[in-house]
Amino acid sequence: MLLTDVSVNIGLIDGDGRVGDPARLAAQIVSGIGFLGAGTIMQARGTVTGLTSAATIWVVAAMGIAIGAGFYMEAAGTGILVTIVLAWLGRLEYKLRRARRVVSLTVRTRPGTKFETIEKALSASGIRVLKYETYDHAEDRVFEMRLVGPARQFDGISVMLLGREEVTGVMGG
């Protein structure tokens, strides 16, 4: 807000009309905050976190620009809308992550690996195998499976399976 206010008023100091373009500083604020927001986005173990934080940082900066430019109603409306969205989307996300999900997964293992070994690992994570096919090759054994379980259980399933010594690859999920 302070930077926008300074940007709008600094060009009026001489009193001979506007000198410079106040929108240039606002554009730099947007770029800089975008860069900072990108730093909050992290990827680990197949999941991306920080998107909501990045978007919130960016919209708060936009509200500051609006206030600094004198657009108080627009900033207040945005603040109310963002508060509602952040409050309700968290609840919606929680419900969606608990929802049942059906997923196709292909697991490549060492030759001779028993399906029960993979099934037991999935079952321990709350995932049930609906059906599966086994394909034996000279260099490996492949299981193509149809799985069902709570959506949130599928987030780290590939990493968990890849941590097993008999599993050499996981695709899908």
On whether both 33 and 107 belong to a single domain, the answer is no
On whether both 89 and 162 belong to a single domain, the answer is no
User: Domain holding 123: CATH number?
Assistant: 3.30.70.60
Helix (H) or strand (E) holding 141: strand 141-150
On whether both 50 and 119 belong to a single domain, the answer is no
* CA 90 remoteness from chain centre: 13
On whether both 10 and 88 belong to a single domain, the answer is yes
The pLDDT of 39-44, averaged and rounded, is 82
On whether both 126 and 81 belong to a single domain, the answer is no
Q: Which of 29, 54, 28, 32 is nearest to 43 (CA)?
A: 54
Place 4 in a pLDDT band, splitting at 50, 70 and 90. confident
On whether both 143 and 73 belong to a single domain, the answer is no
pLDDT tens digits for 120-161? 999 988 899 999 999 999 999 999 999 998 877 887 888 889
pLDDT tens digits for 80-100? 999 999 988 878 877 776 778
On whether both 87 and 121 belong to a single domain, the answer is no
On whether both 151 and 86 belong to a single domain, the answer is no
On whether both 23 and 35 belong to a single domain, the answer is yes
- Residue 84, domain extent: 2-97
pLDDT tens digits for 45-80? 667 788 888 999 999 999 998 998 889 999 999 999
The rounded distance, in Å, linking the Cα atoms of 162 and 75 is 48
Helix (H) or strand (E) holding 147: strand 141-150
Give SS3 for 169.
Answer: strand
100-109 vs 167-172, strand pairing mode: antiparallel
